[in-house]
Amino acid sequence: MKPYIACLLFSAIACVLGAATQSNVLFIFADDQRADTISALGNAHLRTPNLDRLVKRGLTFTRAYMQGGMQPATCVPSRAMLLSGRSLFHIDEKLTRDETWPAAFGRSGYTTFMSGKWHNTASSVPLSFQRAQSLFTGGMTNPLNAPLSSLKEGRMTPARVSKKHACEVFSEETIHFLKEKHAAPFFAYLAFDGPHDPHIVPDDYPVHYDPAKIPLPANFLTIHPFDNGEMMVRDEKLLPKPRRPGDVRGMLADYYRYISYLDMLIGRVLDTLDASPAANNTIVVFSADSGVARGSHGLIGKQNLYEHSLRVPLIIAGPGIPVGQKTDAMCYLFDVMPTLGAICGVTPPPTSEGQDLSAIVRHPGLPGRSTLFFAYRDVQRAIRDERYKLLHYPRIHRTQLFDLTADPHEIQDLSAEAQHADKLRELEGRLQEQIAQQATAPSSKEPQGSRPAHSAKPSRSTD
């Protein structure tokens, strides 16, 4: 055999073997689930046995964040950032302009599937996924009678009202998909619309929480100390002001019950995966589009830049991923898909900006982003480094400074203390730099994704 023929044959065999060993992906995404609502991660006041087993199986990112939003329904930009790999100021919220990561997985030979909430316009579903069953294409609804539609021959079918809880339908559709025989690797996206309010679960679900036994958040306030620019939004009207401890405890009891219900559904999905031929070759990811206040800082919703609303759970488990470990590497949600793409050998969409964290997934002690920048509409901006976080309210010229190491609940504002004046000036300067950078979007012709987060090149929060 001639050398060049042998080389071509070897390359072809390697390509086939590489395709055969590509990992599947099961991505489970919750709606408005705080990072501190998983029992295995420290919350002893609710039961999440199936998320707990995922924590034990994989790697937990303790400092993963959504970047914010330019509208009160922050799940729209959050999901757009996740699926496109683009930052807040550069996303197309309808996901019709740029190639998404699910589409890139499909381009790389994956079978792509989703079921659940799609809050980024129905017309973009076929641009991202090859198959989609039982989608809720709105923002919020009563999950016991949600209008659901599916992708058929490249078009979304007319919506029909579900006879079951929408999240149960989503999980059942995903279970059916996992039970199929797959000739190609798959990317499956299960996007719950819970535990977003209304906190409704089936009446016969047996888990209940006694409000009297649920502690108030460590940073509970009866009212926020000043107008943050978004005090009259729908979410902030869910409970009367000033906030009464009993009302907040009651809301938390319903919220925790919803989380436990979803955990039960997640368990069914994980059990199905464990019993399938794909069990040993599937990366499982759990995360959420945002946190939510639920009484913290006197707030109820997520239209703020405090930790409880920005920080999200992020667990990655699967072949080659450390078991039962944690990393404090800082990252955005829009870094997750570039990381999965790197692990699975998927070429990034040309406009993806997120960083590839796969080196951190293999070696959890490596650092992540050095700085994170956040924004909410034109009324709030924030920046954090490894220890400190600055929040700025431009309309009222007010600033807060928190030491997140000593004060993770953001209770003690240090902005007026002389010993922190240098740090205040430093972060104010870095915040202004980040704000200025948003004026110019990266060229859509230049591939933006996949620079490793541990690169020696200085890390920027939005690249």
Cβ-based neighbours of 428, under 8 Å, separated by 6 or more: 390, 392, 399
Which neighbouring-strand residues pair with 116? 135, 191
Q: Are 65 and 373 in contact (CB under 8 A)?
A: no
**Number of Cβ atoms within 10 Å of the Cβ of 265:** 23
Tens of pLDDT, residues 369-408: 999 999 999 999 999 999 999 999 999 999 999 999 999 9
* Two structure tokens written together for 338: 């570039």
Please give the pLDDT value at position 443.
Answer: 43
- CA dist., res. 289 & res. 139, Å (int): 13
Q: Which residue has the higher pLDDT, 412 or 439?
A: 412
Task: Delineate the domains of the chain, giving CATH numbers in brackets.
Answer: 22-367 (3.40.720.10), 375-437 (3.30.1120.10)
| Lowest model confidence (mean pLDDT) among 9-18, 62-71, 213-222, 312-321 | 9-18
Q: What is the dihedral of CA 70, 74, 80, 85, to 10 degrees?
A: 80
- CA dist., res. 20 & res. 126, Å (int): 26
Q: Are 235 and 309 in contact (CB under 8 A)?
A: no
Decide if pLDDT at 271 tops 90.
yes
Question: What number is the average pLDDT over the span 171-199?
Answer: 97
* Two structure tokens written together for 168: 């149960």
**Number of Cβ atoms within 10 Å of the Cβ of 128:** 24
Decide if pLDDT at 462 tops 60.
no
Decide if pLDDT at 18 tops 90.
no
What is the band of 342 on the pLDDT scale with cuts at 50, 70, 90?
very high
